[in-house]
């Protein structure tokens, strides 16, 4: 019997302005999606993609459908807006609670929020075991056990978890597939389910701005360093320049 | 929740195989500053097995108190026992601020703890401060949108106010080995059923000696322009002369030329060395995010339009394959 | 008149552009330098269905539009004209005639393998003495029981040494002139078939352009494609479609050269400013940009006609004529704008200029295109 895999694609929401920014699938989530699709290739897993965001996030879901996922859900509602990662993870966990699944895969971090939090927080809300920094994943259908290779700074670990559980995927560990031409041609043939806050059964004080313990005090562009100098010189002159600077800075 | 019940700055003292990680000491340095601004204490949380003897190192680094949670189940990091232990500390001790190093452990632990305790977590903060107005609020600043923007975050009504910080961002205090502090044997209880849901089958250390490039004072870094292992031997020779380490852009790690622990950049390590030499690195924004805070940046690239030159203090348009060996020879000669 | 792409075409454009940038562009200089057929790229293309874009799903294809196919050729050619022509010859010159003129058995036998990229296709019409005067076919096919026996040779065949399937045009009855020419499907493994000389070319150097040799090459009777004596018509119809493919290749080359030149002229500073700020640059580039956009519209219209069952022969000829001449003009000027650097292999524009030239020649020279257009005009 094929198991069910869910891929949660990291949200497009955050604490900053989102209107008019075209959604792109963030590279870490694409990695997670690739792992899910490999499980589909190997074990016939059913893959569902969920993303929480503004209506334009549908574009990412079409991409995911073109890559080969079976079901796509867009969680979108004004009430969910202004959410930080805790509120976002609560909302997504609310959606997941209504579904049957064996595995939730999330990306390690989003390039916009850069927080790497939503996956483990979802796991906590669902009271499920988690492993993060997943590089590789195998499944034993008989025992419903996942064997995961986790990246460490100085090596790796092999861990085992039983379904249902949560992993955050390491994008660099896998090369995401391109959408296939037939996937693209048929991407609009499937329905993208649109879910609102009413479907997820999460108390209002746990979603949106109300459910966000963190808030942005201010956002500002990075301060620019004073400009340095660039020289087009011969190698000999380059060495002179460098050595003099290193002496000046007391590095040598 | 009465916010005034919450006090003190807690630091997760990450240890691996009984060795305290540098990032923990760096965070204790910062915690000291934050606690002093509020006349509060710095408390280190030391979880592990047979690790009580490490408590003094934490006190020397700035902790006033060390909570030693010594338990079989904490010997090697797993999400559930560590999350549960820290949650019990939070519920009983009511910390105002909690800092965790953004390592593979911290990034797994931090979010789980914040969700279990329904509080806010700011990840990868680069700046932590207490505001000097009468509110004395804890402000956490972090890069957003791939480093193009900075955002200052507050966690106003929930406690503890949590933040993870990458290794190499904060600075250790000079160690004061004779410093005095309190060491507490802290007891926690575990739900055996929950704990056993994830099993470690084995842990494998990579054979090569691991370098922590975020601790290096000097980095000689290579990108696509270096191209190959042979190219990197030139950088290694230069690094040796300078007493530094070799690091790499993502391109060379993805190409299998350099190992992942040497990668500098958004998905690699953040470094702030005294000297960063970018050789054959174009300077994509994700790379810059990992090194642009370096004190002095020298860039060597054949392409005069490479973005790296926008952050370089000294830019050389030239062939690194000629310049680097020449520089190495020159430095060798100067030693004599 | 709706000039917009469908949602599918937009998503396709996003994918093919990323594929071209990440998978094809990094190899382009090496493919040119080493005259190497980029097999690994073809395998990657095959994996995601690019080798069968306009082939219907019932034959294993992706069921996409010709517009998508044209986009693919353009985007690939933008970074590597060699890769563009590999796809174009395979799809337009081999898969298309089988789809349009093959029996159901032939379609079921060949299209799935071509669409999946398991097999690469090619087309053999040109001979040493039959170029623009294609009717002067000297390769002959003679009936022998249940077989056809082919004798002769073809030259300048794209994909030659890597193809598994060839559409071959041969004379079956010399007395009937063009009505005595027929078309056949030859497989690489057929007895008496061999690959001859590989050409050393000015451009599209990674494309394997070879001679095909038929020495008592025996093929089963059922390999005849289309009606006996209708081979010349099949060839001309095939070239009509192929022409749009080449027009897209030329368009891609032109666009690639434009992109490189805009980038370079913005960064290159002389006399205290970027050379893009000189009016000479701006005016010339404006003219070139207009021509490239015009070429694009002609290509799209030709493919639109094909997708909608409208006649497209003259449209294809105009697209090819204009796109090829535009590509030649744009790439020549691109080299000029790059100055001395443009003449070196450090920058891609010299390769683009060498690549562009063939688009004015193959699949019908610009002179032939003019004949086709005038033919329609003065009917």
* pLDDT tens string A206-242: 999 999 999 999 888 876 666 789 999 999 999 999 9
Return all residues near B260 (Cβ < 8 A) that are at least 6 apart: A151, A172, B253, B268
Q: Which region, left, alpha or beta, applies to residue C191 given φ > 0 means left and ψ of -120 to 50 means alpha? A: beta
Which range, of B1-5, C88-92, C353-357, averages the lowest pLDDT?
B1-5
Which other chains touch chain A, taking contact as 3+ CB pairs less than 8 Å apart?
B, C
pLDDT band, very low/low/confident/very high, at A18 (cuts 50, 70, 90): very low
Determine whether C363 is exposed, middle or buried from the number of CB atoms within 10 Å of its CB (0-12, 13-18, 19+): buried
Q: What is the 3-state secondary structure (H, E, C) of B197-253?
A: CEEEEEEEECCCCCCCHHHCCEEEEECCCCCCHHHHHHHHHHHHHHCCEEEECHHHH
**Structure-token pair, residue C377:** 């005009």
Question: How confident is the model over B155-184, as pLDDT tens digits?
Answer: 999 999 999 998 878 888 988 999 999 999
Residues of B (19-78) whose Cβ lies below 8 Å from A: none
Q: Are A168 and A119 in contact, with CB atoms under 8 Å apart?
A: yes
Q: What average pLDDT score do residues B219-239 get?
A: 95
Which other chains touch chain C, taking contact as 3+ CB pairs less than 8 Å apart?
A
Question: Of the candidates C260, C292, C333, which has an alpha carbon nearest to the alpha carbon of residue C29?
Answer: C260
A177 touches chain C (CB under 8 A): yes
Instruction: Determine whether C363 is an active site residue.
Output: yes
Which range, of A193-202, B192-201, C72-81, averages the lowest pLDDT?
B192-201
Could you give the CA distance from residue A214 to residue A218 in angstroms, rounded to a whole number?
Answer: 12
Question: How confident is the model over C322-370, as pLDDT tens digits?
Answer: 999 999 999 999 999 999 999 999 899 999 999 999 999 999 999 999 9
Instruction: Please tell me which residue, B329 or A17, carries the higher pLDDT value.
Output: B329
pLDDT of residue B38: 92
Q: What average pLDDT score do residues C125-139 get?
A: 94
pLDDT of residue B1: 80
B304 touches chain A (CB under 8 A): yes
Q: What percent of chain C has pLDDT over 90?
A: 94
Return all residues near A28 (Cβ < 8 A) that are at least 6 apart: A10, A107, A108, A109, A110, A111, A169, A170, A171
pLDDT of residue A225: 63
Q: What average pLDDT score do residues C20-37 get?
A: 95
Q: How distant is the alpha carbon of residue C199 from its chain centre? A: 17
B292 touches chain A (CB under 8 A): yes
pTM score above 0.80: yes
3-state secondary structure of C118: coil
Could you give the CA distance from residue A197 to residue A210 in angstroms, rounded to a whole number?
Answer: 14
Could you give the CA distance from residue C208 to residue C35 in angstroms, rounded to a whole number?
Answer: 8
Beta bridge mates, B121: B162
For tokens 């105002």, what's the residue? B96
Closest Cβ–Cβ partner in C11, C57, C62 for A63? C11
Minimal Cα–Cα distance from A111 to chain B, Å? 6
Which range, of A103-112, A128-137, C130-139, C151-160, averages the lowest pLDDT?
A103-112
**Structure-token pair, residue C274:** 């970027």
For tokens 């060495």, what's the residue? A239
Q: What average pLDDT score do residues A8-27 get?
A: 44
Return all residues near C362 (Cβ < 8 A) that are at least 6 apart: C156, C158, C246
Instruction: Please tell me which residue, C1 or C38, carries the higher pLDDT value.
Output: C38
In chain B the first and final C-alpha atoms are separated, in Å, by: 67
Contact B318 A238 (CB under 8 A): yes
DSSP string, C16-41: HHHHIIIIIHHHHHHHHHTT---HHH
Which range, of A100-109, B129-138, C200-209, C316-325, averages the lowest pLDDT?
A100-109
Q: Which residues of C are less than 8 Å from A176 in CB distance?
A: none
Q: What percent of chain C has pLDDT over 70?
A: 100
Question: Of the candidates C321, C336, C327, which has an alpha carbon nearest to the alpha carbon of residue C357?
Answer: C327
> Cis bond leading into A164, ω under 30°?
yes
pLDDT at A12 over 60: no
Q: What average pLDDT score do residues C293-307 get?
A: 94
Could you give the CA distance from residue C214 to residue C149 in angstroms, rounded to a whole number?
Answer: 9
Q: Which residues of A are less than 8 Å from C68 in CB distance?
A: 181
Q: Which residues of B are less than 8 Å from A230 in CB distance?
A: 299, 304, 309, 312, 314-317
pLDDT at B307 over 50: yes
Contact A181 C18 (CB under 8 A): no
Q: Are A156 and A135 in contact, with CB atoms under 8 Å apart?
A: yes
Minimal Cα–Cα distance from A182 to chain C, Å? 4
pLDDT at B137 over 80: yes
By C-alpha distance, the chain A residue nearest C58 is A182
Q: Which residues of B227-240 are buried (b: 16+ CB within 10 A; e: fewer)?
A: beeebbebbebbbe
pLDDT of residue A13: 29
DSSP string, C213-244: EEEEEEEEGGGEESSTT-HHHHHHHHHHHHHH
Return all residues near C87 (Cβ < 8 A) that are at least 6 apart: C45, C50, C51, C72, C73, C76, C245
Contact A86 B115 (CB under 8 A): yes
Closest Cβ–Cβ partner in C11, C48, C53 for A187? C11
User: Which residue in C11, C60, C116 has the most chain A C-beta atoms within 10 A of its own C-beta, making it the best mutation to test that interface?
Assistant: C11
C68 touches chain A (CB under 8 A): yes
Phi/psi of residue A200, each to 5°?
Answer: -100, -5
A56 touches chain C (CB under 8 A): no
By C-alpha distance, the chain C residue nearest A63 is C11
Alpha helices, DSSP H, located in A79-117: 85-97
pLDDT of residue C311: 95
pLDDT band, very low/low/confident/very high, at C3 (cuts 50, 70, 90): confident
* Mean pLDDT score across all residues of chain A: 85
pLDDT of residue B292: 86
pLDDT at A22 over 60: no
Q: Are A26 and A81 in contact, with CB atoms under 8 Å apart?
A: no
pLDDT of residue A5: 45
**Structure-token pair, residue B83:** 């999350």
Which range, of B208-217, C81-90, C187-196, averages the lowest pLDDT?
B208-217
Minimal Cα–Cα distance from A91 to chain B, Å? 13
Contact A181 C19 (CB under 8 A): no
* Mean pLDDT score across all residues of chain C: 96
Q: Which residues of A are less than 8 Å from C12 in CB distance?
A: 181, 184
Q: Read off the DSSP letter of residue A211.
A: G
**Structure-token pair, residue C320:** 């090819």
Alpha helices, DSSP H, located in B75-161: 79-93, 106-116
Instruction: Please tell me which residue, B113 or A108, carries the higher pLDDT value.
Output: B113
Q: What average pLDDT score do residues A118-142 get?
A: 93
pLDDT at A56 over 90: no
Q: Which residues of B are less than 8 Å from A154 in CB distance?
A: 205-206, 210, 261
Closest Cβ–Cβ partner in A62, A180, A188 for C48? A180
Contact C8 A182 (CB under 8 A): no
Contact A239 B323 (CB under 8 A): yes
Q: What average pLDDT score do residues A158-169 get?
A: 94
Q: What percent of chain B has pLDDT over 90?
A: 75
Contact C7 A188 (CB under 8 A): yes
Minimal Cα–Cα distance from A66 to chain C, Å? 9
C12 touches chain A (CB under 8 A): yes
Q: What average pLDDT score do residues C297-318 get?
A: 94
Which other chains touch chain B, taking contact as 3+ CB pairs less than 8 Å apart?
A
Q: What average pLDDT score do residues B219-242 get?
A: 94
By C-alpha distance, the chain B residue nearest A166 is B198
pLDDT of residue B147: 62
pLDDT band, very low/low/confident/very high, at C208 (cuts 50, 70, 90): very high
Which range, of A170-174, B294-298, C22-26, C233-237, averages the lowest pLDDT?
A170-174
Query: Between the CA of residue A200 and those of B112, B266, C158, what are the distances in Å?
Result: 21, 34, 58
Sign of CA dihedral A177, A178, A181, A186: positive
| Strand residue runs (E) in C159-200 | 165-171, 181-187, 193-198
Q: What average pLDDT score do residues C102-113 get?
A: 98
Query: Between the CA of residue C281 and those of C268, C290, C308, C337, what are the distances in Å?
Result: 12, 14, 40, 8
Phi/psi of residue B232, each to 5°?
Answer: -70, -25
B285 touches chain A (CB under 8 A): no
Instruction: Please tell me which residue, C100 or A114, carries the higher pLDDT value.
Output: C100
Phi/psi of residue B143, each to 5°?
Answer: -75, 145
Contact B327 A243 (CB under 8 A): yes
């Amino acid at each position: 019997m094929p198991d069910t895999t869910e891929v949660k694609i990291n949200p497009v929401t955050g604490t900053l302005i989102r209107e008019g920014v075209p959604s792109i699938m963030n590279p870490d989530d694409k990695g997670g999606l690739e792992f899910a699709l490999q499980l589909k290739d190997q074990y016939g897993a059913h893959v569902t993609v969920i993303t929480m965001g503004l209506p334009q996030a549908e574009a990412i879901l079409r991409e995911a459908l073109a890559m080969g996922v079976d079901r796509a859900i867009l969680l979108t509602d004004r009430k969910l807006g202004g959410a930080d990662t805790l509120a976002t993870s609560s909302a997504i966990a609310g959606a997941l609670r209504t579904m049957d699944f064996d595995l939730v895969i999330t990306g390690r971090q989003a390039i916009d929020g850069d927080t790497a939090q939503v996956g483990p927080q979802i796991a906590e809300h669902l009271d499920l075991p988690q492993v993060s920094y997943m590089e590789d994943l195998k499944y034993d259908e008989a025992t419903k056990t996942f064997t995961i290779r986790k990246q460490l700074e100085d090596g790796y670990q092999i861990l085992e978890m039983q379904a249902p559980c949560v992993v955050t995927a390491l994008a660099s560990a896998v090369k995401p597939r391109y959408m296939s031409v037939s996937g693209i041609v048929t991407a609009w043939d499937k329905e993208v389910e649109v879910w609102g806050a009413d479907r997820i059964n999460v108390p209002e004080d746990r979603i949106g701005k109300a459910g966000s313990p963190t808030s942005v005090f201010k956002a500002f562009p990075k301060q620019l360093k004073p400009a340095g100098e660039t020289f087009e010189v011969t190698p000999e002159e380059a060495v002179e320049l460098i050595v003099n600077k290193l002496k000046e800075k007391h590095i040598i | 929740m009465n916010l005034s019940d919450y006090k003190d700055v807690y630091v997760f003292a990450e240890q691996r195989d009984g060795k305290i990680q540098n990032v923990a000491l760096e965070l204790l340095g910062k915690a000291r500053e934050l606690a002093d601004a509020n006349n509060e204490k710095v408390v280190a949380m030391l979880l592990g097995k047979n690790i009580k003897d490490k408590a003094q190192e934490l006190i020397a680094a700035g902790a006033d108190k060390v909570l030693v949670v010594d338990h079989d189940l904490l010997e090697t990091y797993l999400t559930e026992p560590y999350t549960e232990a820290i949650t019990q500390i939070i519920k009983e001790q009511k910390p105002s601020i909690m800092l965790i190093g953004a390592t593979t452990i911290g990034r797994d632990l931090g979010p789980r703890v914040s969700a279990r305790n329904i509080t806010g977590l700011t990840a990868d903060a680069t700046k932590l401060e207490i505001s000097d107005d009468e509110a004395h609020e804890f402000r956490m600043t972090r890069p957003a949108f791939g480093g193009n923007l900075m955002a200052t975050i507050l966690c106003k009504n929930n406690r503890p106010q949590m933040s993870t910080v990458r290794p190499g961002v904060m600075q250790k205090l000079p160690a004061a080995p004779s410093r005095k502090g309190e060491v507490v044997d802290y007891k926690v209880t575990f739900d055996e059923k929950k704990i056993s849901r994830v099993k470690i089958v084995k842990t494998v250390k990579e054979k090569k000696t691991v370098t922590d490039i975020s601790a290096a004072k000097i980095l000689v870094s290579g990108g696509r322009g270096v191209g190959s292992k042979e190219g990197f031997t030139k950088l290694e020779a230069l690094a040796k002369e300078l007493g530094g380490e070799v690091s790499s852009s993502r391109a060379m790690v993805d190409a299998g030329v350099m190992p992942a622990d040497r990668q500098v950049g958004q998905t690699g390590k953040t470094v702030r060395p005294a000297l960063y030499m970018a050789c054959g690195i174009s300077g994509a924004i994700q790379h810059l995010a990992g090194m642009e805070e370096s004190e002095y940046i020298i860039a060597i690239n054949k392409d005069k339009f490479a973005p790296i030159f926008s952050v370089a203090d000294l830019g050389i348009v030239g062939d690194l394959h000629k310049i680097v060996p020449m520089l190495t020879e020159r430095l060798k000669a100067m030693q004599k | 008149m709706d000039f917009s792409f469908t949602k599918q075409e937009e998503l396709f454009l996003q994918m093919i552009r990323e594929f071209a940038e990440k998978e094809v562009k990094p190899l382009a200089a090496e493919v040119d330098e080493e005259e190497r057929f980029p097999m690994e790229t073809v395998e990657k293309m095959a994996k995601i269905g690019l080798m069968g874009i306009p082939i219907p799903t019932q034959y294993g294809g992706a069921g996409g539009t010709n517009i998508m196919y044209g986009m693919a050729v353009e985007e690939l050619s933008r970074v590597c004209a060699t890769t563009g022509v590999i796809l174009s010859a395979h799809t337009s010159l081999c898969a298309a005639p089988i789809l349009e003129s093959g029996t159901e058995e032939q379609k079921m036998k060949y299209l799935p393998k071509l669409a999946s990229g398991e097999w690469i296709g090619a087309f053999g019409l040109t001979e040493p003495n039959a170029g623009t005067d294609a009717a002067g076919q000297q390769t002959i096919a003679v009936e022998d029981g249940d077989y056809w026996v082919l004798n002769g040779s073809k030259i300048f065949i794209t994909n030659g040494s890597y193809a598994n399937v060839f559409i071959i045009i041969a004379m079956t009855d010399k007395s009937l002139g063009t009505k005595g020419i027929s078309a056949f499907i030859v497989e690489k493994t057929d007895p008496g078939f061999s690959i001859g000389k590989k050409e050393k070319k000015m451009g599209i150097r990674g494309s394997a352009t070879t001679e095909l040799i038929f020495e008592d090459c025996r093929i089963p009777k059922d390999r005849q494609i289309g009606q006996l004596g209708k081979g010349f018509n099949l060839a001309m119809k095939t070239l009509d479609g192929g022409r749009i493919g080449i027009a897209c290749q030329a368009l891609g080359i032109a666009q690639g050269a434009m992109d490189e030149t805009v980038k370079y002229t913005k960064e290159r500073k002389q006399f205290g400013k970027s050379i893009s700020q000189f009016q000479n640059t701006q005016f010339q580039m404006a003219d070139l940009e207009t021509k490239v956009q015009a070429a694009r519209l002609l290509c799209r219209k030709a493919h639109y006609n094909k997708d909608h069952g409208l006649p497209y022969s003259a449209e294809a000829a105009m697209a090819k004529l204009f796109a090829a001449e535009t590509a030649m003009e744009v790439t020549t000027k691109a080299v000029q704008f790059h100055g001395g650097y443009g003449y070196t292999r450090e920058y891609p524009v010299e390769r683009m200029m060498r690549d562009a030239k063939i688009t004015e020649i193959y699949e019908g020279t610009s002179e032939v295109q003019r004949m086709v257009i005038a033919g329609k005009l003065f009917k």
